[in-house]
């Protein structure tokens, strides 16, 4: 299984506990995790279903650079972390 966690900056708006989901593409993994908190979905994805430009997704210690296709494979035992990219003032 894959563990998906959302940073506190996201959970400030919509609570979502760490999720354990089946391996698959990064999109499949994220979509599966967000079924636990559908209201969180528009915080992670934009209108075109890409990861928002100020949101970063890590697979283990590597940041996913592709925001649109999300075809990268996530394997059993991997940990996916969704955070806010640090911007603003």
Residues 10-69 that bind other proteins (CB under 8 A): 10, 13-14, 39, 42-44, 46-49, 52, 54-55
Strand-strand pairing, 19-21 and 73-74:
unpaired
Beta carbon nearer to other proteins, 21 or 51 = 51
Beta carbon nearer to other proteins, 31 or 78 = 31
In angstroms, give the least distance from the CB of 48 to other proteins: 6
Size of the site for other proteins (CB under 8 A): 19
């Amino acid at each position: 299984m894959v563990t998906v966690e959302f940073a506190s900056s996201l959970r400030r708006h919509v609570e979502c506990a760490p999720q354990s989901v089946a391996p698959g593409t990064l999109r499949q993994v994220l979509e599966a995790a967000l079924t636990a908190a559908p209201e969180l979905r528009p915080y992670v994805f934009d209108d075109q279903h890409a990861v928002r430009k100020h949101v970063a997704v890590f697979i283990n210690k590597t940041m996913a650079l592709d925001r649109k296709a999300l075809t990268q494979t996530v394997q059993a035992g991997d940990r996916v972390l969704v955070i806010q990219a640090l911007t603003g003032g």
